[in-house]
Amino acid sequence: MWSNAEEDATITQTIDGETKTSAFDNPWDRILPFRDRADAMAWREKYGTYMTGAPSPDFTLGPDTLPNRDRCLMAANAAAPPMTSQGYNDAYQIVQTPSYIAIAVEMMDEMRIVPMFASQSEAMKAHLSPVLQRWTGDPVGWWEANTLVVETVSTSARQRAQSGMPMSEDAKIVERFTRVGDGELLYQAEVTDLAVYLRPWTIAYTFHPVQRIWEYACHEGNYGMAGILSGVRKVERDAAEGGKNQRD
């Protein structure tokens, strides 16, 4: 079991002999190369936190309009590639079988299932139809020497919209997991999405061993959802009654 807690930008770590203070592995100092300047400015202002996909301001559509995190469905990119730290519950358990790699994520109790193939060419042929957008995407994996390579496409539109790293339906993420020591697993990911970004961009950090994965009990969202929606329903009733009184 591994943790990526040291991905936090305030903590330094050494990758290939170089000390880093950020998971972003590009020279533009953690500023994603957005194609649209307005998107770039908005992202920099919010620093990658829920730039898009905000719930309806009046919640008139019901619980489905609430963010994924509030509904205890998904926490940004904890499991969805590229996998990044959420600030806590940053443990991962990686299980290998002859046909699959399973990555159990402590945050939100998420699970990634990656079918494995003998070669990259076989894996490329195994991607599902792009109309089948799935949570954490459509991954395929293969080995390159001692490196596990995972390519993911067709991530869920709702997931993409609420990621701190926005992507289009054409985004492709290639991840590499390499054991570089007894207590160190190097994680590298490259995002290619020319509909949103001027060029591919990458992140890199290291996982370190932890003792166990703890239960992530997402109950506050369940209670909060009922409170939020019942409050909005009251506002709607009050507005309706106010309009009726004015007509009378």
For the segment 71-108, what is each residue's pLDDT rounded down to a tens digit?
Answer: 888 887 888 899 988 878 889 999 999 999 999 999 88
pLDDT of residue 155: 87
- What lies within 8 Å, CB to CB, of 41 at 6+ separation is none
Q: What is the 3-state secondary structure (H, E, C) of 145-164?
A: CCEEEEEEECECHHHHHCCC
For the segment 7-56, what is each residue's pLDDT rounded down to a tens digit?
Answer: 333 344 566 666 665 666 554 445 678 888 777 777 666 544 433 444 44
* Integer CA distances (angstroms), 77 to 15, 74, 99, 111, 116, in order: 21, 8, 25, 12, 22
Q: Nearest 5°: CA angle at 55, between 108 and 38? A: 105
For the purposes of burial, counting CB atoms within 10 Å of the CB of 131, is it exposed (0-12), middle (13-18) or buried (19 or more)? exposed
Q: Hey, is 130 helix, strand or coil?
A: coil
Dmax (CA) of the chain: 79
Within 13 Å of residue 18, how many CA atoms lie on the same side as its CB?
Answer: 8
For the segment 134-191, what is each residue's pLDDT rounded down to a tens digit?
Answer: 889 999 999 999 999 999 999 888 888 778 788 889 999 999 999 998 889 999 999 9
